[in-house]
Amino acid sequence: MESGTGPAVLMLHGSGPGTTGSGAWAMTAQALKTVHIVAPDQAGFGRTPVPAGFRGGLRLWTEQAAGLMDALGIEHYSVVGHSMGGAVALALAAARPQQVTRVVAVSTMGAPGAPLSAELDAIWAAPAGPIGARDMLSRLVLDQTLVTDSAVDARAAAMRAGAAAFASLFPPPRARWADDLTLSAQTLAAIRAPVLLVHGAEDRVTPLGTATPPLLEHLADVRLHVFGRCGHVPAIEHPHEFRQLLSCFLRRDRCH
């Protein structure tokens, strides 16, 4: 997905089965009309295949994101990443310090020492179809009224369409894939771009207590915004406040 004009913002989705760039970010992108949004399907998701010999995704997804922006001729850009995409965004900022100007890591993975949660393990294992889709969506949000029949049907269809590729990404034992997405303290300390961490207080997938303290300790220029009464997807659970927060940080304004 690509939309808008202005300063470039690369938006990276999370790792749930059936996730795509447009599915994750379309609602947010509609409200950010003064930036140039690039929201790709990362390898193994949507229409982007998994390369042969896949042995872990962080390096692959980081190189893919950097290569995409190079191919588009975009020299400087902010990166917004959700969950898995947050870990990729942070890795990209460390790898491309001259290109990445700002980072927003939402409900992010990547923190040193953060274990694979039971909720994320279950999400990665969710079977394609309505039952798996409903179970997964119920784990992502605190407000269960958001798990509507239409949302379940849409996610079930996306899960079935991408089932073959997704099956190769996070097979058991799954703790190794969470480890693959972990950034070292040295990598985090190398990031010079300002970083905004956004998290839900009731996130069970990447719990606030394990996901953010190591990042606050090791990132040189970091701030944290916590949404109360919010699970793993602030962009869906608090859409207006999330977009306002995102917009003012990307504009380099002070957020009040």
* Residues forming the active site: 83, 203, 232
**What is the token pair recorded at 5?**
């004009």
Q: How many residues does the chain have?
A: 256
CB burial of residue 77 (10 Å; 0-12, 13-18, 19+) = buried
Who's near 106: CB < 8 A, 6+ residues apart?
A: 80, 81, 82, 83, 85, 86, 198, 199, 234, 235
Residues paired with 36 in a beta bridge: 8
Q: Are 58 and 31 in contact (CB under 8 A)?
A: no
Q: Which of 174, 115, 120, 128 is nearest to 155 (CA)?
A: 128
CA distance 197 to 215: 9
Helix axis angle, 84-95 to 58-71, nearest 10°: 60
Three-class DSSP category at 222: strand
Who's near 251: CB < 8 A, 6+ residues apart?
A: none
CA distance 248 to 41: 26
Q: Which amino acid is at 134?
A: R
